Amino acid sequence: MLAKYKKVANELRKRIQQGYYSAKEVLPDQKTLALEFETSRVTIKKALDVLYVEGFIYTIQGSGTYIKKNAFQLSESGVKIGQNMGLTHQIDESVELTNEILAFGVRFPNEEESGQLFLKPENPVYEIKRLRILNAKPYSIEYTIIPVEIVSGLTTDILNHSVYDYIQNELGLVFGGNRQTIKAAQPNEYDKKYLNCAVDEPVLEVTKVMFLESGTPFEFSKVRHRFDMVEFSFVNPSSQI
């Protein structure tokens, strides 16, 4: 079932794209939107946060929330690098997302993982490998390391849905910033097998470290995408152009 805030975000995004709201006028305030959508202001704020991160809107303190002038040029298919939403909340509701768990277990971190997550060698971590499939086509393979001490209780059922929803809604943890890098790479055996990559087809690898609001890193991941299944849009939310 789609989360309420995502339904609201989808509707507001559609209105912006269809010109229902003028870029010169302030958007309805959170109280007004909460009444219209019969929900709480907290839900409205989360929906607006989604549109802010996607680059559709900006806020002027004491004035209100406005549509960016370049909102209509934003890519609808692009994955927005730099945001704190997982794939589940980035895709349109018309897109079918399924997950195939390739590996899931607990082990001790290697040297790179310990350094990225500020862990000691004896601190256990979850090792997760997931194949993400969009509309029955292989999209990406996620290699994720998460400290057990910070994110407890992960299960295969959670992995088949949204890990980030579990972390935020069930564990009550608040996300901070993240650090991401992108590079092109040659396909490995997993890419060839699960992403159907040919030997001469590149993959795009996104390496990410996610932080809690306190600055503590809680996820180190490497996501490998088929070159023809992803488009990266870089959005600076502070820009009002």
Tell me: the pLDDT tens digits for 229-239?
776 665 554 44
Distance CA 147, CA 218 (A): 6
- pTM for this entry: 0.65
Which pLDDT score is estimated for 87?
55
pLDDT at 124 over 90: yes
Which pLDDT score is estimated for 76?
47
Q: What is the dihedral of CA 144, 149, 153, 159, to 10 degrees?
A: -10
CB of 194 within 8 A of CB of 101?
Answer: no
Tell me: the pLDDT tens digits for 158-168?
999 889 989 98
Which pLDDT score is estimated for 233?
61
State which fold the 79-234 domain adopts.
Chorismate lyase (3.40.1410)
Tell me: the pLDDT tens digits for 176-196?
888 889 999 999 999 999 999
Tell me: the pLDDT tens digits for 37-49?
999 999 999 889 8
Tell me: the pLDDT tens digits for 192-232?
999 999 999 999 999 999 998 888 999 999 999 988 877 66
CATH number, span 4-73: 1.10.10.10
Domain chopping of the chain, boundaries: 4-73, 79-234
